[in-house]
Amino acid sequence: MKIVLPTDCGNAPRTSIVGEFVTNWAKSDVEAMTAWLTDDVTWTVVGRETASDVEPADFGCPGSMPNYLEVNTIITHGRLASCDGFVDSDSGRMHFSHVFKFASTSKAAKIRAARTYLTDLSY
């Protein structure tokens, strides 16, 4: 899969964490995603489902394995972060936006809550 992440000044360490997390989300890499989620994480896919006791496999990138991931922006501030972009797969293009709330402002803090917005696949 080709991956395009935004370039930044490197001043916000959480930017690389979010970039890595969304890459693992696009790949549906459950093990890597789980490493960044608290045990009590809540994940909402807007308009579709909300879950506590999250099974990350249920929240990986829906559809077939993407062959291209482009993240347009990553914004972080304190305990909050967001990113948006799109994935291309054989099934089509899906745009996404994720909003994350970390457990604390620590650089090693895990994601406590996630909210995901997805468009339907299209070309």
Distances (CA, A) of 86 to 11, 24, 28, 38, 112: 24, 14, 15, 26, 23
Q: Which residue has the higher pLDDT, 50 or 83?
A: 83
Choosing among 3.20.20.140, 3.10.450.50, 3.40.50.300, 3.80.10.10, the CATH entry for 2-118 is 3.10.450.50
Confidence of residue 123 (pLDDT cuts 50, 70, 90): low
Task: Look at residue 13 and tell me whether its pLDDT is greater than 90.
Answer: no
- Average pLDDT, rounded, for the chain: 87
Please report the pLDDT score of residue 32 as a whole number: 94
C-alpha 91/C-alpha 99 separation (Å) is: 25
Please report the pLDDT score of residue 50 as a whole number: 57
- Which two tokens mark 119? 């468009």
Alpha helices in the chain, H assignment, sequence order = 13-27, 30-34
